[in-house]
Structure 1
Amino acid sequence: EDNGLPVHLKGGAKDALLYRTTAGLTVFGTIYALYYLLVSSLPKKPN
């Protein structure tokens, strides 16, 4: 059936929720990884 919806949303609300959750976790994980790469690349201040 061609109703103009992308294939990952044709299953309805459950598929939309799964897609948004996956996309959100991916964005969060990428930001988290980049943040810790930045933190680990900076030298520690001596006490």
Structure 2
Amino acid sequence: MLRNLLALRHIPQRTISTASRRQVANKVPEYQKIFQEDNGIPVYLKGGTTDALLYRLTMGLSVFGVGYVLYVLFMAAMPKKQK
């Protein structure tokens, strides 16, 4: 039983360890080459397909939002019919 208690004492020490078990490769120089290259593509699209999709989605939502706001303002400006 004492052995189980001693083993239980080591569990929190192992799970809260700050030591890194594997090294992560530094990809910053690769990304610097990609984003600093002068190829005529805007920086917000240089990330590839995902950047293009996110850009188009954001622009679509923005256009839809502006259109909806204009519709709501127009509806609020029109007087309601009296019965």
- Please say whether Structure 1 and Structure 2 have the same fold, judged by a TM-score greater than 0.5: yes
Query: How far apart in 2 are the matches of 1:4 and 1:45?
Result: 55
Percent identity over paired residues:
62
Name the TM-score, length of structure 2 as normaliser. Answer: 0.55
Deviation >6 Å, runs of 4+: none
Query: How many pairs does the alignment contain?
Result: 47
Name the TM-score, length of structure 1 as normaliser. Answer: 0.93
Larger Rg belongs to: 2
Query: How far apart in 2 are the matches of 1:4 and 1:36?
Result: 39
In structure 2, the gaps of 5 or more residues are 1-36
What is the aligned-residue RMSD (CA, Å)?
A: 0.6
In structure 1, the gaps of 5 or more residues are none
- Amino acid of the structure 2 residue aligned with 1:32: Y
Which structure would you say has the larger RCO, counting Cα contacts within 8 Å and 6 or more residues apart? 1
- Amino acid of the structure 2 residue aligned with 1:45: K
Q: Residue 67 of structure 2 corresponds to which residue in structure 1?
A: 31
The secondary structure found in structure 1 opposite 2:54 is: helix
Query: How far apart in 2 are the matches of 1:30 and 1:3?
Result: 32
The secondary structure found in structure 2 opposite 1:4 is: coil
